[in-house]
Amino acid sequence: MLSKEMEAALNAQIEKEGFASAQYLAMASWAENRGFEGTAQFLYRQSDEERMHMLKLFHYVNDAGGAAISPGVAIPRKDFESFRELFEVILAQEQGVSERINALVSLATEQKDHTTHNFLQWYVAEQLEEESLFRSILDKLKIIGNDGGALYMLDKDLQGNGANKGSKTAP
């Protein structure tokens, strides 16, 4: 049985994952409208993946005796200065999610809630994978600079990138 504090903390995380899904969707629209087709497809998949993260938490809260709350949708950011800034915002968002997952793990440890601690390990691994993916994209963008041809190739690359990510670890 979840403590009230843990239930509230998990519901707060449900809201964050829901917001991440909305933010990726807004980013997909930004990319699509600027001709970054591959990136747009990649971001649509990320949006779906975040919704899956949200649902996995949602089912867990109900299964563990709490009451999952369907979050309201905060308005995500819809404009970005550049392709590179978009990925900087993504990395910062994912780092923020990782911090909150770590805080949830600490709370589970404090409360000796081994079930929730065990459940959260999937998110710990997922965040490591996501942060690493976005760091590597930003590294490529630093090398590319303003080379339009290289940017075009990166966009093509992203079309296939992450296509199966998540599905192999999906619930």
Total residues belonging to the chain:
171
> Residue type for 170, please?
A
Choice from 7, 113, 130, 155 touching ligand FEO (CB under 6 A) = 130
Please say which residue, 130 or 155, places its beta carbon nearer to ligand FEO. Answer: 130
Query: Shortest approach of ligand FEO to residue 151 CB, angstroms?
Result: 24
Does 19 help bind ligand FEO (rule: CB under 6 A)?
no
| Residue 44, CA distances (Å) to 64, 121, 136, 161 in order | 31, 25, 19, 12
Please say which residue, 50 or 113, places its beta carbon nearer to ligand FEO. Answer: 50
State which of positions 20-79 bind ligand FEO (CB under 6 A). 20, 50, 53
Q: Residue 58, class by beta-carbon neighbours within 10 Å (0-12 exposed, 13-18 middle, 19+ buried)?
A: buried
Tokens of 61: 């809260």
Query: Shortest approach of ligand FEO to residue 5 CB, angstroms?
Result: 21
Spell out the residues 6+ positions from residue 29 whose beta carbon is closer than 8 angstroms to its own: 40, 78
Does 17 help bind ligand FEO (rule: CB under 6 A)?
yes
Tell me phi and psi for residue 59, to 5 degrees.
-65, -35
Please say which residue, 35 or 96, places its beta carbon nearer to ligand FEO. Answer: 96
Does 14 help bind ligand FEO (rule: CB under 6 A)?
no
Please say which residue, 87 or 151, places its beta carbon nearer to ligand FEO. Answer: 87
> Residue type for 119, please?
F
Contact set with ligand FEO (CB under 6 A): 17, 20, 50, 53, 94, 97, 130
